[in-house]
């Protein structure tokens, strides 16, 4: 299983936003939508062995977590707008317990800490960070969880919570890349290893 946890620091936590304003009013939700595309799309296929958690921490009611499950996903298209509509549908739900909004898309009030606690103990945990070891030189396991942040760095508190899970710090090249680009580069490396 491949797993991504992405923190959306300002991402809106209600369905009260316009699909024409995914960057501004929705608190850079666009970054998370592109990360969904990078996580799940192959040409003419969806990655089934993939789970993604998007932790939304913006107003009005943080935290909320969207969980996407590749083996169940339907109605996902590559463009930002239609993915934004699926996520907005999820954010319309009011339960705090996890609830399904559409096939493969779940919503809950889980915090970042809660999400980390759902990661199976046997999973390798990797913190994507510019000063980490090059991914091409890192042993990767079949069950692997990558944790990263949106366009803002993790806070000291978020880093500390992650440290409890003994992550390895890994980087993806000589530059700093957008979150969705990071997700894609990881997928390609795992593809090449047959993982």
Provide the binding-site residues for a copy of itself, judged by CB under 8 A: 19-20, 22-23, 30-31, 34, 37-38, 41-44, 77-82, 151, 172-178, 181, 184-185, 188, 191-192, 194
Which CB sits closer to a copy of itself, 2 or 110?
A: 2
Measured from the CB atom, is 33 or 119 closer to a copy of itself? Answer: 33
Asked if 148 and 179 touch (Cβ cutoff 8 Å), the reply is: yes
Q: Name which of 74 and 81 has its Cβ closer to a copy of itself.
A: 81
For the CB of residue 166, give the shortest distance to a copy of itself in the complex, in Å: 26
Q: Could you tell me which residues come within 8 angstroms of residue 68 by beta carbon, excluding any fewer than 6 positions away? A: 36, 39, 40, 50, 51, 52, 54, 104, 105, 106
Q: Compute the least distance from the CB of residue 21 to a copy of itself, in Å.
A: 9
Minimum gap (Å) between residue 187 Cβ and a copy of itself: 8
As measured in angstroms, the least distance from the Cβ of 20 to a copy of itself is: 7
Q: What is the β-pairing status of strands 99-102 and 105-108?
A: antiparallel
- Contacts with 15 (C-beta within 8 Å, 6 or more apart), sequence order: 88, 89, 90, 91, 92
Considering the complex, state which of residue 71 and residue 96 has its C-beta at the smaller distance from a copy of itself: 71
Structure tokens at 43: 């040409």
Residues 6+ apart with CB under 8 A from 46: 40, 70, 73, 76
In angstroms, give the least distance from the CB of 84 to a copy of itself. 10
């Amino acid at each position: 299983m491949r797993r991504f946890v992405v923190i959306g620091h300002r991402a809106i936590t209600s369905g009260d936003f316009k699909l024409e304003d995914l960057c501004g009013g929705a608190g850079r939700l666009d970054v998370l939508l592109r990360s969904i595309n990078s996580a799940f799309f192959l040409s003419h296929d969806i990655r089934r062995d993939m789970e993604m958690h998007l932790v939304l921490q913006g107003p009005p009611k943080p935290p909320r977590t969207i969980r996407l499950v590749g083996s169940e996903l339907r109605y996902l298209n590559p463009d930002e707008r239609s993915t934004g509509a699926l996520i907005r549908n999820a954010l319309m739900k009011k339960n705090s317990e996890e609830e399904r909004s559409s096939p493969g898309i779940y919503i809950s009030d889980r915090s970042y800490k809660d999400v980390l606690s759902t990661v199976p103990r046997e999973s390798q945990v990797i913190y994507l960070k510019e000063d980490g070891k090059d991914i091409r030189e890192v042993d990767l396991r079949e069950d692997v969880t990558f944790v990263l942040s949106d366009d803002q760095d993790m806070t000291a508190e978020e880093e500390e919570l992650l440290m409890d899970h003994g992550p390895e710090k890994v980087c993806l090249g000589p530059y700093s890349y957008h979150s969705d680009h990071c997700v894609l580069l990881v997928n390609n490396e795992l593809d090449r290893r047959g993982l």
